Structure 1
Amino acid sequence: MKNTFTHFFFLILCSVFLFSCGNDDNDPQITSELEGVWSLKSMDYDGKYSAYQQGELLDEGTFTGKASEISMTFEFKGDQLVASGSFNMTMEYDLFPGVVYKVPVSGSNFTGTWEANGDKIYFQTLSGAEEAQIISQTDNELVFKMSSTMSQAAIGAENVFEMDGVYVLNK
């Protein structure tokens, strides 16, 4: 039973990486530096999860993962964001050491808005808002960290994921 819930919740977790996004004041200098087409080069993440059935805790633990076979772009134009492409998500749960789950994420196209302020980028899409912290930025590379908490419920089950992801994009 735990294995079925783990697989179900892993698929739900994948959706947070596709549709994470926030909003705040805009810094024109940072905005112009970020404008353009960026390719996702890597995405590494870790976090913890809790799985519940009818309010009873079934499982909790930690996970790590990364994206591979990446063909994903993000276009920052004005205040608009257009993302498209695909990648594979891999994840390893502490519950199943040595077992790596691999899920293809294709057709991950979405649009939204974005703003930059200081060392923050705020994204907004139909699925919600997210805030990213810029770790480093050059003319050709952008590295940011985004923390997310997501809760999904279905058929009396609920899964809560708290994760930190580091994204590397190149122009």
Structure 2
Amino acid sequence: MASEFYNLSAKTLQGKEVPMEEYKGKVVLVVNTASKCGLTPQYEGLEKLYREHKDEGLVILGFPCNQFGNQEPGGRKEIEEGCLINYGVSFPMFDKVDVNGDNTHPVFKYLKSNLGGLFGSRIKWNFTKFLIGPDGKPVKRFAPITKPEKIEPYIEKLLAKKSS
């Protein structure tokens, strides 16, 4: 049975609608991001993870969000430039979304309903991370303060399972 995750889609920063089905068979890390947050330097760790494991089947999906302390106030162009210039981000970045409330993006609605956190399903802050297996099933949720390198063992385990 196909995962509901693959029925969802999101718009990239360039305005292109991308079906999550495009990531079928890959290990996916979904992150709500912000460019003016104390945790923003995590972009570096995320990019490092992506570069080291993308050829094995890892994809990181960044979703800018301005719901926490107004830390992502810019538009598409500013977000894209900030990610590229400051952190060399080459993984897919999507349009700004809401991760809580009435306008929660469907990707986050799905992930939160499958992987509740310490505060119920609500996302508490920027850089909350959701790891999805190659079958499209949510595997684990990581707190905003969890550094990307701490997630690597989980990613490697899923990648190893994928290739066996």
Of Structure 1 and Structure 2, which has the larger fraction of its residues in helix? 2
TM-score when normalising by structure 2: 0.28
Larger Rg: 1
